[in-house]
Amino acid sequence: MIKADYNSIIYDYLAIESDIASIDAKYSFSPAMEADVPTGGTTAAATTVPTQGARAQLTGTNDNGQKAAEINAKNAVKSAVKDNLTDKNPAEKLSKFQKALSAVKEFLKKIADILDNVKRWIQNRIRSLVNNDRSFNNQYQQRKRLVKPLDEVTVVNYAYTNNNLERPIKGLMQDIESCLRTLSMTTGGGPTGRVSDIINAPQGEMLKVLFKPYTQGAETEVSSAPNMTKYLVANYRTDKRERTYRQTDIPAIERNAMNTSEISNRCNSYINTCTQLYGSIRNLEKELRPDADEKQISTIRENARKAAVLYNTYNSIIHSYFELRLEASMNYRIILKKFYQM
């Protein structure tokens, strides 16, 4: 019998996550060339030696004493950082553009690899599933013609709550697709609402914001795709225990056991959508020009990085959905086998 595989989902995600981090580090901008310093964040640029006027501010005091000196110190550092961020040095700007372009190209290549891998994976899993379906269905239909089902059976098994899987999966897919559409556009009024909350989240917290509405009641905050997979598994299943099923339950059990074509179609639909969105994300490379201002260069580079993170997450969620639905179908087949003593 074909079995669900959750470990490979986590391993694949972590490997791609590491690749994305390596690309980000490989083409990072030097502190003096950073376009945006996040509110509350720290960068090496903040330690740049202030100008002479700034040093005067740092040592000055007024009637408010130390408090005023601290305010002046903060203002001086901000002024020094701002001086470093201007387009005064064409060579630095060109270097920043070249690094950004290389990063965008590698992020896009990584996304293309993710899409190729997920297509290959779903094709292989569906092929195995079809063969398994054909074998089981032939045996099952033959047995139904020959044997009357038992009145009831008792099985130690999980039960599954469909809404606990379908609701978060549907919402997550819609949110990620909306974010990818927004990230492909670097002009206009900018994102609003939930999309803005996700893609403008503080560094390292984008996935935590993405998952939060769908993980209410989690024991710990879900901030990564592997943890989201674990959360979905724990909430889709109910506790594993002894359960009794009656003959009148067989039609519903059959529907759950034989719905593998629906699972495959749903996953293929998700994959087709994220493949189409990649066509828009690729435009980021075209929008990156040497004459763009430094803020736009940084924005395009960052949009490509965030898109890669979201595609890796999208891939992980599709895998998780398929494997969970597969697990449920295989477990319902165990119940049918008990009824017909297969």
Question: What's the per-residue H, E or C state across the chain?
Answer: CCCCCCHHHHHHHHHHHHHHHHHHHHCCCCHHHCCCCCCCCCCHHHHCCCCHHHHHHHHCCCCCCHHHHHHHHHHHHHHHHHHHHCCCCHHHHHHHHHHHHHHHHHHHHHHHHHHHHHHHHHHHHHHHHHHHHHHHHHHHHHHHHHCCCCCEEEEEECCECCHHHHHHHHHHHHHHHHHHHHHCCCCCCCCCHHHHHHHCCCCCCHHHHHHHHHCCCCCCCCCCHHHHHHHHHHHHECCCEEEEEEHHHHHHHHHHHCCHHHHHHHHHHHHHHHHHHHHHHCHHHHHCCCCCCHHHHHHHHHHHHHHHHHHHHHHHHHHHHHHHHHHHHHHHHHHHHHHCCC
Considering the domain boundaries, does residue 2 fall inside one?
no
Residues 212 and 77 in one domain: no
Considering the domain boundaries, does residue 41 fall inside one?
yes
Number of compact structural domains in the chain: 2
Considering the domain boundaries, does residue 205 fall inside one?
yes
Residues 75 and 149 in one domain: no
- Report d(CA 331, CA 342) in Å as an integer: 14
Specify the amino acid at residue 140: Y
Dihedral sign of CA atoms 262, 268, 272, 278 in order: positive
Considering the domain boundaries, does residue 134 fall inside one?
yes
**Domain end call among 86, 104, 126:** 86
Considering the domain boundaries, does residue 190 fall inside one?
yes
Residues 143 and 54 in one domain: no
| Residue count of the chain | 342
Q: Give me the torsion for CA of 284, 288, 294, 300, rounded to 10°.
A: 10
Residues 74 and 100 in one domain: no
**Domain end call among 45, 70, 86:** 86
Residues 269 and 229 in one domain: yes
Specify the amino acid at residue 149: P
Residues 191 and 160 in one domain: yes
Residues 78 and 168 in one domain: no
pLDDT recorded at residue 90:
76
pLDDT recorded at residue 189:
64
Query: Domain containing 73: what range?
Result: 34-86
Confidence (pTM): 0.80
Considering the domain boundaries, does residue 1 fall inside one?
no
Residues 229 and 268 in one domain: yes
Considering the domain boundaries, does residue 61 fall inside one?
yes
**Domain end call among 53, 71, 86:** 86
What is the full per-residue pLDDT of the chain (342 aa) written as tens digits?
Answer: 678 888 899 999 999 999 999 999 999 875 433 333 333 333 333 333 334 443 333 333 344 444 554 555 455 445 444 444 445 577 777 888 899 999 999 999 999 999 999 999 988 988 888 888 888 999 999 999 999 999 999 999 999 999 999 999 999 999 999 999 999 987 666 778 999 999 999 988 999 999 999 998 888 899 999 999 999 999 999 889 999 999 999 999 999 998 888 888 999 999 999 899 999 999 999 999 988 888 899 999 999 999 999 999 999 999 999 999 999 999 999 999 999 998
Residues 40 and 153 in one domain: no
Residues 102 and 38 in one domain: no
Residues 57 and 25 in one domain: no
Considering the domain boundaries, does residue 315 fall inside one?
yes
For 36, phi and psi rounded to 5 degrees?
-135, 130
pLDDT recorded at residue 35:
35
Exposed / middle / buried, residue 118 (Cβ in 10 Å: 0-12, 13-18, 19+): buried
Residues 24 and 100 in one domain: yes
